[in-house]
Every structure is written in structure tokens, then in C-alpha cells.
Amino acid sequence: MASNFSRILSSKQRIGVLTFVGGSVTAGFLLHRQHVGAAAPVRRSYPASADYPDLRKHNNCMASSLTPAIYAKLCDKATPNGYTLDLAIQTGVDNPGHPFIKTVGMVAGDEESYEVFSDLLDPIIKERHNGYDPSTMKHPTDLDASKIHSGNFDPRYVLSSRVRTGRSIRGLSLPPACTRAERREVERVVVDALAGLHGDLDGKYYSLTQMTDGEQQQLIDDHFLFDKPVSPLLTCAGMARDWPDARGIWHNNEKTFLVWVNEEDHTRVISMEKGGNMKRVFERFCKGLLEVERLIQERGWEFMWNERLGYVLTCPSNLGTGLRAGVHVKLPLLSKDPRLSKILDNLRLQKRGTGGVDTAAVGGVFDISNLDRLGLSEVQLVQTVVDGVNYLIECEKRLEKGQDIKVPPPPLKQFK
Amino acid sequence: MTTIMPFGNTHNNFKLNYKVEDEFPDLSKHNNHMAKILTKELYGKIRDRQTPSGYTLDDVIQTGVDNPGHPFIMTVGCVAGDEESYEVFKELLDPVISDRHGGYKPSDKHKTDLNFENLKGGDDLDPNYVLSSRVRTGRSIKGFTLPPHNSRGERRAIEKLSVEALTSLDGEFKGKYYPLKSMTDAEQEQLISDHFLFDKPVSPLLTCAGMARDWPDGRGIMHNDNKTFLVWVNEEDHLRVISMQPGGNMREVFKRFCVGLQKIEEIFKKHNHGFMWNEHLGYILTCPSNLGTGLRGGVHVKLPKLSTHAKFDEILTRLRLQKRGTGGVDTASVGGVFDISNADRLGSSEVAQVQLVVDGVKLMVEMEKKLEKGEAIDSMIPAQK
């Protein structure tokens, strides 16, 4: 794993240089983190077998992969800033899962978690991402939106289009583990960079601790405001600590590009608009992301990224692209067709209600988005959504005319 | 005995690389005891400390940072992770204890008195008014860390030791232990109808302090065959011990409470794990509000007229009592029935606190009877106890 850490070390050396120019709080400290890769041992007073969790009633990816042997091997290891296996798996121990929904059951506290706990995270990643093997495979990143074709949907069917992802700032711990100072540093770095956006991306930051009542109401009306997490999947992982300190929302004046700061990830980036112009949504998405990346690099920072995992985020389910591209689409006839699930499966799409994950569809309007995150690039995933949604609209049109529809062939097996 | 919990001991050292002003929490909108005491200077002074088991200042205060509090209810806002927390973080906890417990000073000594014979009366509360009587406390087992901090291995060790002790009791205390994670549906139903079953904590005051981790592993309930003596294992404290029965014979309830506690303590001592206690703080528990006796002795009592009297709250204050609805803390009273219990925990003994309940409830029932007859009660209002 030396190659990943050399990338970290080189960025920190850059940060070290920039400190003299007037860098930030943590830059000087980060020079001292040379011992990455040598995880500090944890002293235990109970043997691993006494601390091994009871996972017999659990149904999540962590429970499927965490054997007593793996627990014993990893339980006395910690990342350089002291994040341990017990901390990483706590959310999965506390939330046994649902018989029908298989949650991941584990988070990363920092970039190094994915290395130090790879004996557990690699099989979890493989299970969650259709056989993608982080120890042997490479993840492609492609943010060239010009490659998308046929990405402008019939607005009689597609009501809105949206693309979201997350980005983490390298060198700072992730939401489950970050200290208050680190979280505030993430906010400073990101807000500083966003202030450098211009033109159609010109916008403003609203800190959760300082927004006025008027601003809060406006953000609620725009459906932009995020709340303190209530899901125990997140709270048991420690992501709601110190709320609402250093949390906030940035959006452009046109309200088509939105960044959440310090919610479940360092940043969540969202591009959206009404109607079916997914290509334009993705163009803005890519432009905004690349511009923000350039702005943080000017200041000596970079995003967490590596060849085997792509963009590194808190939840292993969001590795790779971290991308969910979707539409709200009216498919009243197709929604009643028993073949819909199979069609979606074969198109590598998932449906949700328009209230988000776990809500039901209302009036035949679905949220349709990509299933995959890792092992395929952003362009590939968005094109998959574009092709799939066009296919679904064709089906709906055929059903309107009383014609029959076909279930598309399943895709070729990706990674097995 | 000190134990090192399997958490990242290096994590606190890592935080020290950041400046105090960058790590100090924003407590400007907070209203709890911790927030009133913890200045940036104090934070800077003690943040590099850890207890022998690795509990840190940020661990102590996390619940208070995450729960700013209510404008009218003053929560404590900090917890102990082990016995040593009260020593290592005394610059914070002593003033919090003083604020919470009526000015209790670091040099004060706490009196423990579990001799039920020292209680006067208490066997004649009118059962037409007093529906049930109950005394509870908590106990921590020396040598183990507390619920906010303990690992699964340690919690299981606490459970194992507790079950051995509790199931060896005999006589009126003979009973059975029901582990939360393996009770049958029928057992669960029965415990619910007996109002014995405790749930996974949902209050963020507890969850933000880490007390619900790994639920329901290592948790359970023991009760005697008569259903008058009950012990919760590994909920908010290592042990919560409850004696209760219908009606107003608080004397009997308190006797059972004292005898049961002393029997349990003897067994733990034989295993070289007595209870956490010292002469300054009395019995050591997770929440600073429960130090001293950790005792809440109370009754469910019908006071429909007195409770609507203008001086009701003042009477309670003077009697050193507090009211709650019959659903517990922060619930409303239903049908004029209140849960009335002692307000104090630290600085007075178990006998003294239960005496206040017995005397105070007796007086209030007499007041209620007077009000029923349309008579005034002004002459009966007591001086501040």
C-alpha cells in the first residue's frame, strides 16, 4: 500500500511549504504525521474473544465479514490519529439491520481506516460493490461531461434532474472521528474555496450556527436545509457530535448548485434543476467540482482519492464516484407493470419514492437513479442513467399506445 | 485496579496538536451545569489529562455539548467514565457537583446510613391516597469502568459477576435473571406488564454519552419471585436497585431495600469487587446528579386538590421534595396522581432522605384531606427543611 501513502506524504510536504506563505491551522501539524502506515497499537485488558460483538441477529455487510479471526487480528490496531476497529464497527453493532435491507454496518474515521482495516473493509467493499476487488482493481474517474449523449429528456415525463456526490479533504479526519478543530478546518477550507466561484456558480454560504430566521425559512422553502441526523445509522457512528458547530450550506444564486458542509461527509455536492436536461446538470456538476478542486489545490489542499478506491468518503457504499444521478419521472402505466423491477435491475437502476430513500412513489412519480458507485466512472454512470431513463420513457410511451414492452437484456457481469 | 479500554489512546494526544481555541466547544447557547463552569481557560488546563483507563475531558463533556439543554430545566451536561474521572477532572466536576447539590464543597463529607431501623414511622401512609411506594438507587462495581466507557468485554464481565451475586440471594430476595438479548417473547410480555422491562435509552442525554452502545448485549433484569425487589444490570449504571410495592408502607419498602443492598454488597466484596464509594462523594455513579445516596424514594399519591393549590410548588420545595408525572421524569400527572420523591442525593443519608419523603407525604395527605373538607391549610405550611 506504499503508493497511497506516498501521495499523502507529498501533499503534506506541499502543505508544509505553503505554511510559510500563510497556510492554515493544521498545516504545520500535518508535517509531523510522518508515521502514517504504522498504526499505533492499542492496549487491551480483555482478550479479543471477550470483546467480539454478538452478531448472530445481525444482517449487515460488516456482520457478514467480521469473523472472530479478523476481529482478533485488527482489534488492537489504530489509525495514526487513534481511530480503532471498535469505533468503525460500532454503527453496525448497534444497528442489526433489517431482514430485507442490507446496510453496510461500518464507517471510516479517516482515510487511513481503509488501509489499516482493509482485511475487513475489502470484503465489505466487494460485497457491496458487485464483486469489485480493491486489492487488484483500479477505479476510473472521468468528469468530462461533454461525453454524455442524449441527455435531454422529454419534459412531459421528467420533472427534475439531479446529480450528487461527496468529497473529503485529505489530511483531515472524517465526520465519525473528526475533532471540533478539524471539523472547523474543513469548513474554513471549503467555504474559502467556494468563495472563489464565479459566474453561474457565484453564491453564498449559510452557517448553521449563524443563519438568521429569515435565511433558515428560505432554505427550508427551497428544500435545501439539512437537519441534524436522526438516523441511528449515522448517530451511532458519531457523525452528529457537536451539532451544529461548523455545519452549513452553500448554494449558488441560481439555486442549481449546492454544497453541504460537514453533514455525513466533509462535503456533499449537488447539481440540480427542474426539467429533463441531465446533460446540463452534469456539466455544471463537473465544472463546479473541478473548479472547487482547483481552488483548494491553490491553497495546498486536495481531495481524498486513490486509484483503488476512487474518491474516499465516510461510508464504504459511497466509494468510487460517490455519485447518485437521478430524475423524478412520471411513469404511471409502467409503475403498474409487474416487469418494472426486472427492467430496472437490468438497466442497473434503482427506484425510490420522491421523498428519498425508503419512501413510496406518489402518483406514479419515481426517483430513478444509478445503483452502482465504484468501478465505473462518473461519465459511465450518468450515461447509464440517461440510457435507462430514455428506455423507461419509451416503455411508457409504448404502453400509452397499447403496445407491448420488452425487458432489456441484463448487462454483462462487471467484476466477477 | 486500572484497566485500559480498547479505544484509541492516541486520539487525545492527536487533538492536543490543535489550539485550545480551535477545540473549545461553542457553549454560547447552552444551559447546563457543565456549560456554566467550563471556560476556555479551564478547558485548556485539563484537556491533556486522561484517566488510567483512557477517559478524556471531551468524553466527559460530549453529552453536554450535544444537548444544550432547556431554558427551564438545568441538566448536568457531563458524565463520568470511571471512578477516577471524579478525581482527574475535579476542576470541572467539583464546581458542577457544588452547583447541582446545593453548594456541596470539595471538603464536605457525605454520610451513608442504610440502617432501616433509624427510619421513624413510614408504615402508616394512608393507602386511600398513597397508591404505591418505591425506593431506587444505583451501584457501581469497583474496578470496572462505567457505562459511557466500558467495552463489550468489560460489560459482559460486569453482567457475569452481577448475575452470580444476584442469583445467589435467598429468602425474600430469591429470584431470576432475564438477559435482554435472550428472553423469550412470553418473558418479555410478562416483564412489560409488570412494568419492569427497561428499554434501550432513547434520551439523547444518555445516547450522546455512549451508554446505549452494543444494546442489548450484557443487559438484563433480575427480580425476586414476589416482584418486590428488582435489579437492572448495565442500563445507565452498572446496577440500579429497586424496592417497591403497592400501598403506603414505605417502611417495609425501605427495609427490603437496605437489607437487599447489604446482602448484594457482601457478595461482591467476597469477589474483591465492592461498590465504588468514598467518604466525600458517597456512592459513585455515572451521572454526577446521582452521587451520594443515588437514592430516589417516592410514592404515587393522589393529590388532586393540593396539586392545584397556589402554594403546592413552594410546599414541595420547603419539604425538599420534587414532583413528576406517574410516567416518570418529564411526564405530566394524570388524574391528580403525582410521583413525589426526595430532591436531594448528596450531603444527607439514605435514612434522612427517606424520612423527608415519609414525613412530607404524610403532611401533604393531611393537607389534601383538609382541602376536601373546604378548610384552609395555611397554618400547616412548613418552614424550609
Chain A residues within an 8 Å CB radius of B212: 94
pLDDT reported for residue A220: 86
CA–CA separation, B139 and B116 (whole Å): 18
Query: Cβ–Cβ of B11/A209 closer than 8 Å?
Result: no
CA–CA separation, A119 and A69 (whole Å): 10
Confidence grade of residue B384 (pLDDT, cut at 50, 70, 90): very high
What is the per-residue pLDDT across B110-155, written as a single tens digit (0 to 9) for each?
999 999 999 999 999 999 999 999 999 999 999 999 999 999 999 9
Residue found by looking up cell 454519552 in the block:
B209
Tell me the shortest Cα–Cα distance from B138 to chain A, in angstroms: 25
Element containing residue B370 per DSSP (H, E): helix B350-372
Chain A residues within an 8 Å CB radius of B207: 235
**Average pLDDT score over residue span B333-344:** 90
Please tell me which residue of chain A has the smallest CA distance to B8.
Answer: A82
Q: Report chain A's mean pLDDT, rounded to a whole number.
A: 88
pLDDT reported for residue A36: 36
CA–CA separation, B169 and B211 (whole Å): 28
Query: Cβ–Cβ of A180/B25 closer than 8 Å?
Result: yes
Chain B residues within an 8 Å CB radius of A26: 17-18
Structural Rg of chain B based on CA atoms: 21
B333 appears as a binding residue in the annotation: no
What is the per-residue pLDDT across A336-379, written as a single tens digit (0 to 9) for each?
999 999 999 999 999 988 765 556 667 889 999 999 999 999 99
Quote the cell numbers at residue A14.
Answer: 506541499
For A51, which of B8, B151, B215 is closest by C-beta distance?
B151
Q: Which of A93, A180, A188 to mutate to test the interface with B (most CBs of B within 10 A)?
A: A180
In the predicted structure, residue A3 carries a pLDDT above the cut 70: no
**Average pLDDT score over residue span A122-131:** 96
Chain B residues within an 8 Å CB radius of A46: 6, 151, 153-154, 157
pLDDT reported for residue B10: 63
Give the β-pairing of B220-224 and B229-233: antiparallel
For B214, which of A53, A76, A87 is closest by C-beta distance?
A53
Chain B residues within an 8 Å CB radius of A84: 6-8
What are the strands of the beta sheet with A267-274, ordered from one edge?
Answer: A203-207, A248-252, A257-261, A267-274, A158-167, A324-330, A365-370, A349-352
Confidence grade of residue B208 (pLDDT, cut at 50, 70, 90): very high
CA–CA separation, A284 and B12 (whole Å): 41
Query: Cβ–Cβ of A181/B4 closer than 8 Å?
Result: no
B213 appears as a binding residue in the annotation: no
Confidence grade of residue B159 (pLDDT, cut at 50, 70, 90): very high
B65 appears as a binding residue in the annotation: no
Closest CA to B242 of B316, B356, B166, B164: B166
Q: How many residues does chain B have?
A: 385
Cβ atoms of residues A237 and A176 within 8 Å? yes
Strand partners, A103: A60
For B7, which of A47, A84, A94 is closest by C-beta distance?
A84
Q: Binding site for ATP: what residues of A are annotated? A: 160-164, 223, 268, 324-328, 352-357
Tell me the shortest Cα–Cα distance from B360 to chain A, in angstroms: 42
Given its phi and psi angles, is residue A273 left (phi above 0), alpha (psi -120 to 50 degrees) or beta?
Answer: beta
Quote the cell numbers at residue A195.
Answer: 468563495
Instruction: Give every CB contact of residue A377 below 8 A, 6+ residues apart in sequence.
Output: A140, A141, A142, A321
Give the β-pairing of B277-278 and B239-246: unpaired
Q: Alpha helices, DSSP H only, in A300-410?
A: 340-346, 378-400
Tell me the shortest Cα–Cα distance from B173 to chain A, in angstroms: 30
Tell me the shortest Cα–Cα distance from A116 to chain B, in angstroms: 13
Query: Cβ–Cβ of A52/B152 closer than 8 Å?
Result: yes
Question: Which DSSP category does A31 fall into?
Answer: T
B381 vs B73, more confident: B381
Please tell me which residue of chain A has the smallest CA distance to B2.
Answer: A45
Tell me the shortest Cα–Cα distance from A180 to chain B, in angstroms: 5
pLDDT reported for residue A101: 78
Query: Cβ–Cβ of B151/A32 closer than 8 Å?
Result: no
Tell me the shortest Cα–Cα distance from B126 to chain A, in angstroms: 46
Residue type, B281: L
Q: How many residues does chain A have?
A: 416
pLDDT reported for residue B66: 96
Size of interface A-B (CB pairs under 8 A): 116
Q: Can you tell me the ipTM of this complex?
A: 0.90
Please state the φ and ψ torsions of residue B8, each to the nearest 5 degrees: -70, 100
Please tell me which residue of chain B has the smallest CA distance to A239.
Answer: B208
Query: Cβ–Cβ of A86/B7 closer than 8 Å?
Result: yes
* Interchain contact B11–A (C-beta under 8 A): yes
**DSSP-derived 3-state class of residue B54:** coil
Among residues of chain A, what percentage have pLDDT more than 90?
A: 79
For A25, which of B22, B152, B215 is closest by C-beta distance?
B22
Query: Cβ–Cβ of B18/A181 closer than 8 Å?
Result: yes
What is the per-residue pLDDT across A164-197, written as a single tens digit (0 to 9) for each?
999 999 999 999 999 999 999 999 999 999 999 9
pLDDT reported for residue A2: 33
Query: Cβ–Cβ of A243/B9 closer than 8 Å?
Result: no
Query: Cβ–Cβ of B22/A180 closer than 8 Å?
Result: yes
Closest CA to A36 of A69, A66, A1: A1
Instruction: Give burial (CB, 10 Å; 0-12/13-18/19+) of B325.
Output: middle
For A81, which of B14, B66, B157 is closest by C-beta distance?
B14
CA–CA separation, B157 and B139 (whole Å): 15
Q: Binding site: what residues of A are annotated? A: 160-164, 223, 268, 324-328, 352-357
Helices B350-372 and B312-319: crossing angle, nearest 10°?
150
Around B164, how many Cα atoms within 13 Å sit in the side-chain half-sphere? 14
pTM: 0.89
**Average pLDDT score over residue span B193-206:** 87
What is the per-residue pLDDT across B277-330, written as a single tens digit (0 to 9) for each?
999 999 999 999 999 999 999 999 999 999 999 999 999 999 999 998 876 555
* Interchain contact B193–A (C-beta under 8 A): no
* Interchain contact B18–A (C-beta under 8 A): yes
**Average pLDDT score over residue span A45-73:** 95
pLDDT reported for residue B194: 84
**Average pLDDT score over residue span B181-188:** 90
Secondary-structure percent of chain A, ordered helix, strand, coil, rounded to 5: 40, 15, 45
For A81, which of B5, B11, B153 is closest by C-beta distance?
B11
Cα dihedral value A387, A391, A394, A399, nearest 10 = -160
Quote the cell numbers at residue A215.
Answer: 435565511
Confidence grade of residue A49 (pLDDT, cut at 50, 70, 90): very high
